[in-house]
Amino acid sequence: MNLTTLRIDLDRLHRQLVTLGGIGALPGGGVARLALSDADRAGRDLVVDWMRKLGLQVTVDRIGNVLGLRPGESDGLPVTVGSHIDTVKAGGIYDGNLGVLAGLEVIAVLNDAGIVTKRPLAVGFFTNEEGSRFAPDMMGSAVHQGFLDLDQALAVRGIDGKSVGEELVRIGYAGEVPTGIFRAHCYFELHVEQGPVLEQEGMQIGAVEGVQGISWTEYRISGVSNHAGTTPMRMRRDAGYLAAAISVEARAIAQAMGGDQVATTGLLQFKPNLVNVIPGEAVITVDLRNTDEMLLQAAERRMHEFVARNAAAENLDVQQRVLARFEPVAFDPVMVDLVEREAHRLGYSVRRMPSGAGHDAQMFAPNCPTAMIFVPSVRGISHNPAEFTTQDQIGAGAQVLLGVVLEQAMK
Ligand code: GLV
Ligand code: MN
Ligand code: MN
């Protein structure tokens, strides 16, 4: 059979995306399936059921990663497709979910055509890619590929005080399969871009060359809570003031450095958080990212010095905790070429590009040839219920995924 004539079934893929997106659906659109929540469990159960119906051999490892294996003609390492199905607290239905369900669609196409690939195939989803509830992000794939200690990950407490280990047991996904030893022949991940570049340039496919470095820090600031009217400015130990200053400094750092540097304060909490009380405690997070490790380190240094100087000036105690730290990752150029070539062969416009978001693929990249395929995000919006990618754009990405998987699995 001529494999180049195989076509993904876009209606089937889209139906599954919408069905999975209905679990944890938010009233005005979008979805909330924080890692290891009840909604995450329901989403997992559904995808596992779909995997079994496709005849995949499903395994769950000790950090709750789920892999479905399809044997090939020969034993050996599987050509692996994966992503995640957890979401941020108010996210879209595409982030992560598309990559997993497109992987299942590849399997469905091969089943329908009665094709057994030479190499085995695996499709998986990895625990807590988002990192919104439990830090770091990419937790499951990091443990899976041997870059994060299992016990350390299981002990992590989330924003609600529960631990990863407890929550895995509670939702029934504390599996038996050991972590850190799975190796893939190669790894592919289809994902929405989550940024504006492809849309602005009118491109259909992104051939992702790598992922930028990520640095997440939490600052817990302690001062003295006091009366907002009676406490002279010179006598204040205002934790809220330093937190606000850190947020402004993060923006200043990114502006001063320019280039690819980005900086975000995504979490800011005051105690007691009342109009007429000086905050005695504050918690703030800073997310710094750059494609260049040296520049990322320079941004971290500048923030570190700023916090130390200003905490001393306001007589505050600051506890600093690294929540996540990943160096920039480059994908295998041969694999990036493969994505580009396949997209061109199918008649799609392609742009090579870095990824601004973190992805499970970056955990595979040091261990096996890895590549990602991006499809556009309408208006560049993501981590937002309004996240949207058109059916045509999804179809193009899934078709490229099918092509590159076959290319690797048939030789
Ligand atoms: C994960 O989605 C990240 O890049 O923050
Ligand atoms: Mn994602
Ligand atoms: Mn995400």
Percentage of the chain lying above the pLDDT 90 cut: 99
Give the residue carrying structure tokens 């941004």: 299
What type of residue sits at position 187?
A: Y
The whole-angstrom separation of Cα 45 and Cα 34 is: 15
Architecture of domain 3-212+328-409: 3-Layer(aba) Sandwich (3.40)
Name residues contacting ligand 1 (CB within 6 A): 130, 137, 357-358
User: Residue 60 contacts by C-beta under 8 Å, 6 or more apart in sequence?
Assistant: 66, 173, 175, 176, 177
DSSP of 256-307, one letter per residue?
A: HH-TT-EEE---EEEES--TTEE-SEEEEEEEEEESSHHHHHHHHHHHHHHH
Residue 394 pLDDT greater than 90, yes or no: yes
- Given the CA of residue 88, which atom of ligand 1 is nearest to it? 2
Count other C-beta atoms under 10 Å from residue 280's C-beta. 18
User: Residue 389 contacts by C-beta under 8 Å, 6 or more apart in sequence?
Assistant: 94, 98, 192, 375, 376, 377, 378
Residues 315-324: tens digit of each pLDDT: 999 999 999 9
Taking CA atoms only, the protein residue closest to ligand 1 atom 2 is: 130
317 CA to centre of ligand 2 in angstroms: 35
Asked whether this chain's domains 3-212+328-409 and 213-326 adopt the same fold, the reply is: no
Region 306-332: mean pLDDT is 98
Between 3.40.309.10, 3.30.70.360, 3.10.580.10, 2.40.40.20, what CATH number should domain 213-326 receive? Answer: 3.30.70.360
Mutate to test the pocket of ligand 1, among 262, 288, 372, 383 (most ligand atoms within 8 A of CB): 383
Residues 268-294: tens digit of each pLDDT: 999 999 999 999 999 999 999 999 999
**Domain extents in the chain:** 3-212+328-409, 213-326
Confidence of residue 300 (pLDDT cuts 50, 70, 90): very high
Q: Please return the burial class of 269, using the count of CB atoms within 10 Å of its CB with bins 0-12, 13-18 and 19+.
A: middle
Residue 154 pLDDT greater than 90, yes or no: yes
**By three-state DSSP, how is residue 191 classified?**
strand
Query: What is the pLDDT, as a whole number, of residue 68?
Result: 98
The whole-angstrom separation of Cα 166 and Cα 150 is: 14
Residue 199 pLDDT greater than 90, yes or no: yes
- Given the CA of residue 138, which atom of ligand 1 is nearest to it? 1
Query: What is the pLDDT, as a whole number, of residue 1?
Result: 80
DSSP 8-state assignment for residue 177: B
Q: Model-level pTM?
A: 0.96
383 CA to centre of ligand 3 in angstroms: 6
Mutate to test the pocket of ligand 1, among 98, 130, 264, 287 (most ligand atoms within 8 A of CB): 130
DSSP 8-state assignment for residue 314: T
Give the residue carrying structure tokens 């008649």: 347
Buried-exposed string 18-51: b where 16+ CB fall within 10 A, e elsewhere: eebbebbbeeeebbbbbbbbebbbbbbebbbebb
